[in-house]
Amino acid sequence: MPEHRQAKIVFSPSGKHGQFPVGTPVLQAARELGVDIDSICGGRALCGRCQVEPVEGNFAKEGIVSSPDHLDGLTEDELYALENGQLLAGNRLSCRAKILADVRIDVPPASQVHQQVVRKEYDARPIELDPLVHLYFTQVAEPDLKHPEGDLQRLLKALEKDWGLAELDCDFSVLQSLQSALRDGQWQVTVAVRDGTRIVAIWPGLQEHLYGAAVDVGSTTIAVHLCDLSSGDVMSSAGAMNPQIRYGEDLMSRVSYAMLNPQGAGQMTAAVRSAINELLAKVIDRAKTDVSQVLEITLVGNPIMHHLLLGLDPTPLGSSPFALATSRSTELPATELGLQLAAGTRAYILPCIAGHVGADTAAVMLAETPWQLDEMSLIIDVGTNAEIVLGNRDRIMATSSPTGPAFEGAQISAGQRAAPGAIERVRIDPKTLEPKFKVIGGQLWSDDPGFKDELGEQEVTGICGSGIIEAIASMYLAGIIRPDGVIDGSTAKRNPRIESSERTFSYLLHKGQPDIRILQADVRAIQLAKAALYAGARLLMDHMGVETVDRIRLAGAFGSHIDVKYAMVLGLIPDCDLEKVSSANNAAGTGARIALLNKASRREIEKRVREVEKIETAIDESFQDHFVEALGIPQENA
Amino acid sequence: MPEHRQAKIVFSPSGKHGQFPVGTPVLQAARELGVDIDSICGGRALCGRCQVEPVEGNFAKEGIVSSPDHLDGLTEDELYALENGQLLAGNRLSCRAKILADVRIDVPPASQVHQQVVRKEYDARPIELDPLVHLYFTQVAEPDLKHPEGDLQRLLKALEKDWGLAELDCDFSVLQSLQSALRDGQWQVTVAVRDGTRIVAIWPGLQEHLYGAAVDVGSTTIAVHLCDLSSGDVMSSAGAMNPQIRYGEDLMSRVSYAMLNPQGAGQMTAAVRSAINELLAKVIDRAKTDVSQVLEITLVGNPIMHHLLLGLDPTPLGSSPFALATSRSTELPATELGLQLAAGTRAYILPCIAGHVGADTAAVMLAETPWQLDEMSLIIDVGTNAEIVLGNRDRIMATSSPTGPAFEGAQISAGQRAAPGAIERVRIDPKTLEPKFKVIGGQLWSDDPGFKDELGEQEVTGICGSGIIEAIASMYLAGIIRPDGVIDGSTAKRNPRIESSERTFSYLLHKGQPDIRILQADVRAIQLAKAALYAGARLLMDHMGVETVDRIRLAGAFGSHIDVKYAMVLGLIPDCDLEKVSSANNAAGTGARIALLNKASRREIEKRVREVEKIETAIDESFQDHFVEALGIPQENA
């Protein structure tokens, strides 16, 4: 033991350490050493956030022998916290436990201020948890006849004294609930402070939970994820069809609807907001929390979804020069978007990049951070348009390519959205030209004995985007389709599935209710779509001056369902080592979640969006050349 | 003429002068010399704001001979402006007129940026016009496919280029109307910018007018004044009874109503907001303008009016320690107060000083600026409470004294509010003890021959606050009332108007429908009220350590109607040279107007309110002593 009754304390995982007088609370030692330990109640043993684990062991490297006994005994506050499950057995509240002798203290991830949130995606970095809104508990002085300061001014003084929060602004809605919160809480309240500058909510007594919602507004589906802002965990998720579909299946038909109907844009704005409200109610209910605790929401979407969500006119986006109302991020009270959230809740909408490249692509960029890599990354988000990003730490470009909705199963004779009953995998035997396929919702191939049982009452209803890609690629690999995309009529002799219809041929994939055929027109539609996608990627590569890319990331539903091998057979994407082609899953939704959980990421993506070089396919001649060239199927892939 | 074809220009009234190459536009010369000339269109000859008058004459002091001919001939733009009345004959548009030879240019007040707004009150300084919101016209670049910047970003660029306005924020409501404004105005728009930092409104083309409203929310009446923010002129005014009266005549009964009825405060909030909305519609209609051009509103009121207006709970103000929800100013979108104004309109509510001393007193202070004087000023605003300010440039104190509503005619047997039919002036002949009086709305005394004709069908309905003061002072001066306030029964022998009733006496002021008598109880009520008022003033003088004051200002309706001599006879106010006692008219309303027209005044009053020493009568023993002493009528005044 050191002289004069000092003891050594070592914190892990930071490794920070120091000497302190015996009797020093662990939290105080941590603060003095700059070890970030979370707290809402400010050391009042109320919130349980500051709990730590004293470790048993001989730590030669740090020169100490540590034991949980080297802290003083459990205090009454800690016994109470143990009883009500707030404190884990073996842990201590760092605001209560005092140092008696040398000790090593493990700060568990949940007690760290800037904890890392792990992501599921392959090859993805964790998110550093650093949300905009934080909770602070405080004790406010009671009013005093001699010092006629207002309730608000006494609250501000308490927050400055307890938490060093100076010169805070205060939402008017908070002022309106301040009087009752202070009196109901007997002058103890918890406030939510946004960005260290503004009080956006208040509760009587101690409030420990805070949530945020990340929303991906797709033209087809809307997805909402509710996240715990103190852990980063997704508490609940919900999705729904975008009800705007009743006004137009694809984006351009929605813009037309807005052009032709004076109230059209307003109807679509109301529809999408109401769908988001329903999903918000659902995720809040599923997470068993209360709407008053949801204080942040981030939203992403393509430019037309972005404008309709914000109540902006989408019609300038319908024709050249495709003028955005704003190309910056937008932040505003969520209630101004018609969202049924608390008055203090702020909505943040990521910036659009250009008239065809939206906030969804900005979110994909934020999820993928190509600017952190030396490798040249090609990131493709296939929806109605393909939005394409190419770059590395030196330079980033983005464009949008008019693939049309064929990859989503639209404009395909038997096409449908990815939903139960849709064919999603196809193989064709090159000898017999007989097919086998898998259906969404099932595990078995169609030639497996149990296939019909597994299907049960579910009919095979159509073919989705990934299914049509595999079908056409398999037809090509089996020799049914020629490199120029024509269904070869001579194969009809080998298998009756190749059928003649007027002057073209088709392939019967499935005899059922309905029959599912791949028509020549379907092959043509996919050829056009894949040529557009490929030409967009090539255009960026030309501008970048590269012949190959180091890695390819496929985002979105299509990107996560597609079998990369077949995409490459068809020539959807430029050549790349198959090992280096991977799915980025729902990168747009992930980007929305990152913007929700990490405030610095908002400034980061705003800066990147300003810097990214925007390439316009419509006015670039080489796009046309690439497009025409890419209409066929690359023969080297055969 | 100076060499190299230079000419001298002198601007009046600033006296700024310089040499410029022949052909320099006058506006450019003014800008280079730092002469403030107004402009909305930025030198495009559209707004007419920059017009100036070239002067004929030999100005020996400046060494020039000036003539209007020393500018070039009228341009087409100026001829057009002359025709449509935008340009006064003899004036020139400084953005168009070019200097040919030495010239003296007079900048008329309406073309100066910081013009002075003259006030009607005796002894009042002019207001320097410097409102928060200004208009800027600009030409925005059209959208360009190659540079996909949003409409907003191109607008911001244009404002920075034309007006040096950098890094502006933009209200969401402006973003929502931006697209149509730009296209309707063919890429020319006018924006309203608040405090040089935020766009709060936008119009297609040129918009030249901007208004603001100043609102005085009294417990009895509400007054609204609509001001032109570019001239400071009051365009229209309107007043109405405060509809909260149906929930309680005086402040404390309204607080009781809020205490006893769960929805009570909400009802009163809705009532006052709806009354303000009606008045706003009226003043906007009278000024023949449009609500979209009203972009600022300032509001003042006592603490209870302040809380009810803001939707805050007034009940803590009903009992000690009289806790305010906030003692700072409040600024928020006017729509959040339920006011039917434009989305970009901001409301500014002056700060309350203490639980009994409200934003109305802050406004009175702002109108009176006692901190600019060496003289010790006593400022009294008599309403249901008397709010009293004492101070000079060294030190300022404020208090509130519970006079009750007697001075407003309430709690007086024949009392009524100041309205047509109310007696407002009273004289009593000391010999005959016969009275004469004047009635509101009339010019003649009651003993004038034409009095009844002038009255017409109007009955004499009661006696108002100033009438009761004069009646009692006259009764005292005529010997009907003794210094202790007792009506002297022995005078009944001299005139039958002195009548006996139970154990006290009364004085019949007017025989009519109804009879108007001054009862002993009325005298007692006024004694209590005036003792409270006097004791409040004396209390401040004690704290300040002064025996006399240098000047007295009486604010509010009571203060502007009262005859100062009779107030002093009764001992309402401390002794002061009668010459130095004057009315401050509606100083609270004036303060609201100053806060509307001059942005610096807001920071000024916020600072003064924090610094003012708040004296609480309820806990000060010497207040009780002064109060008891002041119950009688000062004999030296007899």
Token code pair at residue B381? 């605003």
Higher pLDDT, A93 or A637: A93
B235, B233, B231, B215: which is closest to B223 by C-alpha? B215
Sign of CA dihedral A544, A549, A555, A557: positive
Say if residue A333 is preceded by a cis peptide, omega within 30 of 0.
no
Asked if B145's CB is within 8 angstroms of A316's CB, the reply is: no
Query: Who among B146, B325, B614 is closest to A152 (CB)?
Result: B325
Neighbours of A262 (CB within 10 A): 8
Q: How does the average pLDDT of chain B come out, rounded?
A: 93
Hey, is the C-beta of A397 within 8 angstroms of any chain B C-beta?
no
Q: How does the average pLDDT of chain A come out, rounded?
A: 93
Among all residues of chain A, which has the CA nearest to that of B398? A148
Asked if B146's CB is within 8 angstroms of A326's CB, the reply is: no
The arithmetic mean of pLDDT across residues B346-372, rounded, is: 96
Hey, is the C-beta of B87 within 8 angstroms of any chain A C-beta?
no
Quote the minimal CA–CA distance from B320 to chain A in Å. 7
DSSP structure string for B309-376? HHT---GGGGSTT---S-SS-EEEEGGGGT--S-TT-EEEEPPP-SSSS-HHHHHHHHHH-GGG-SS-
Hey, is the C-beta of B614 within 8 angstroms of any chain A C-beta?
yes
Among all residues of chain B, which has the CA nearest to that of A352? B150
Among all residues of chain B, which has the CA nearest to that of A143? B323
Neighbours of B635 (CB within 10 A): 10
Q: Where does the pLDDT of residue B1 fall: very low under 50, low under 70, confident under 90, or very high at 90 and above?
A: very low
Sign of CA dihedral A588, A592, A594, A600: positive
Asked if A324's CB is within 8 angstroms of B151's CB, the reply is: yes
pLDDT at B638 over 50: no
pLDDT reported for residue A638:
44
The string of pLDDT tens digits covering residues B583-604 is 898 899 999 999 999 999 999 9
Quote the minimal CA–CA distance from A584 to chain B in Å. 27
Hey, is the C-beta of B116 within 8 angstroms of any chain A C-beta?
no
Hey, is the C-beta of A353 within 8 angstroms of any chain B C-beta?
yes
Token code pair at residue B549? 């004051």
pLDDT reported for residue A636:
62
The rounded distance, in Å, linking the Cα atoms of B287 and B277 is 15
What is the β-pairing status of strands A211-217 and A221-228? antiparallel
pLDDT reported for residue A2:
45
Among all residues of chain A, which has the CA nearest to that of B173? A336
Quote the minimal CA–CA distance from B353 to chain A in Å. 8
Q: Where does the pLDDT of residue A197 fall: very low under 50, low under 70, confident under 90, or very high at 90 and above?
A: very high
Range of lowest pLDDT (A201-210, B363-372, B386-395, B625-634) = B625-634
Hey, is the C-beta of A624 within 8 angstroms of any chain B C-beta?
no
pLDDT at B619 over 90: no
Asked if A180's CB is within 8 angstroms of B328's CB, the reply is: no
Asked if A179's CB is within 8 angstroms of B321's CB, the reply is: no
Asked if B178's CB is within 8 angstroms of A151's CB, the reply is: no
Hey, is the C-beta of B609 within 8 angstroms of any chain A C-beta?
no
Quote the minimal CA–CA distance from B142 to chain A in Å. 9
Q: Where does the pLDDT of residue B506 fall: very low under 50, low under 70, confident under 90, or very high at 90 and above?
A: very high
Among all residues of chain B, which has the CA nearest to that of A613? B147
The string of pLDDT tens digits covering residues B412-421 is 999 988 888 9
Among all residues of chain B, which has the CA nearest to that of A145? B321
pLDDT at A403 over 80: yes
Higher pLDDT, B67 or A113: B67
The string of pLDDT tens digits covering residues A236-279 is 999 999 999 899 878 888 999 999 999 999 999 999 999 999 99
**Sequence-distant (≥ 6) Cβ neighbours of residue A287 within 8 angstroms:** A211, A226, A235, A236
Hey, is the C-beta of A262 within 8 angstroms of any chain B C-beta?
no
Contacts of B350 in chain A (CB under 8 A): none
pLDDT reported for residue A340:
98
The answer to whether residues A340 and A291 touch, using CB atoms and an 8 Å cutoff, is: yes
Asked if B145's CB is within 8 angstroms of A326's CB, the reply is: no
Quote the minimal CA–CA distance from A181 to chain B in Å. 11
- Quote the pTM value: 0.90
Contacts of B309 in chain A (CB under 8 A): none
Contacts of B398 in chain A (CB under 8 A): none
Asked if A355's CB is within 8 angstroms of B146's CB, the reply is: no
Hey, is the C-beta of B150 within 8 angstroms of any chain A C-beta?
yes
What is the β-pairing status of strands A234-241 and B498-501? unpaired
| Per-residue 3-state assignment (H helix, E strand, C coil) for A281-292 | HHHHHHCCCCHH
pLDDT at A626 over 50: yes
The residue whose two tokens read 């030190």 is B395
Contacts of B313 in chain A (CB under 8 A): 179-180
Higher pLDDT, B441 or A1: B441
pLDDT at A637 over 70: no
pLDDT at A1 over 50: no
Query: Who among A144, A151, A618 is closest to B325 (CB)?
Result: A151
Query: Who among B144, B336, B618 is closest to A321 (CB)?
Result: B144
pLDDT at B195 over 90: yes
Quote the minimal CA–CA distance from A180 to chain B in Å. 8
Asked if A616's CB is within 8 angstroms of B151's CB, the reply is: no
**Residues recorded for chain A:** 638
Hey, is the C-beta of B167 within 8 angstroms of any chain A C-beta?
no
% of chain B with per-residue pLDDT over 70: 98
The rounded distance, in Å, linking the Cα atoms of A633 and A485 is 7
Ranked by mean pLDDT, which of A78-87, A377-386, B273-282 comes out on top? B273-282
Asked if A311's CB is within 8 angstroms of B143's CB, the reply is: no
Residue to mutate among B328, B331, B353, with most A CBs inside 10 A, is B328
Token code pair at residue A112? 């760290």
Quote the minimal CA–CA distance from B219 to chain A in Å. 21
The rounded distance, in Å, linking the Cα atoms of B155 and B157 is 5
Hey, is the C-beta of B133 within 8 angstroms of any chain A C-beta?
no
The rounded distance, in Å, linking the Cα atoms of B45 and B206 is 11
% of chain A with per-residue pLDDT over 70: 98
Asked if B354's CB is within 8 angstroms of A150's CB, the reply is: no
pLDDT reported for residue A408:
80
The string of pLDDT tens digits covering residues A503-556 is 899 999 999 888 999 999 999 999 999 999 999 999 999 999 999 999 999 998
Residue to mutate among A140, A147, A175, with most B CBs inside 10 A, is A175
Q: Where does the pLDDT of residue B122 fall: very low under 50, low under 70, confident under 90, or very high at 90 and above?
A: low
Quote the minimal CA–CA distance from A637 to chain B in Å. 36
Query: Who among A145, A148, A320 is closest to B327 (CB)?
Result: A148
Angle between helices A303-310 and A264-286 (to 10 degrees): 90
Contacts of A609 in chain B (CB under 8 A): none
Contacts of B314 in chain A (CB under 8 A): none
CB pairs under 8 A between A and B: 125
Asked if A150's CB is within 8 angstroms of B324's CB, the reply is: yes
DSSP structure string for A49-112? TTEEEEE-EEETTTTEEE-GGGBPPPPHHHHHHHHTTSS-TT-EETTT-BB-S-EEEE--GGGB
Backbone angles phi, psi at A105, to 5 degrees: -120, 125
pLDDT reported for residue B318:
92
The rounded distance, in Å, linking the Cα atoms of B82 and B90 is 10
The arithmetic mean of pLDDT across residues A187-192, rounded, is: 98
Asked if B178's CB is within 8 angstroms of A332's CB, the reply is: no
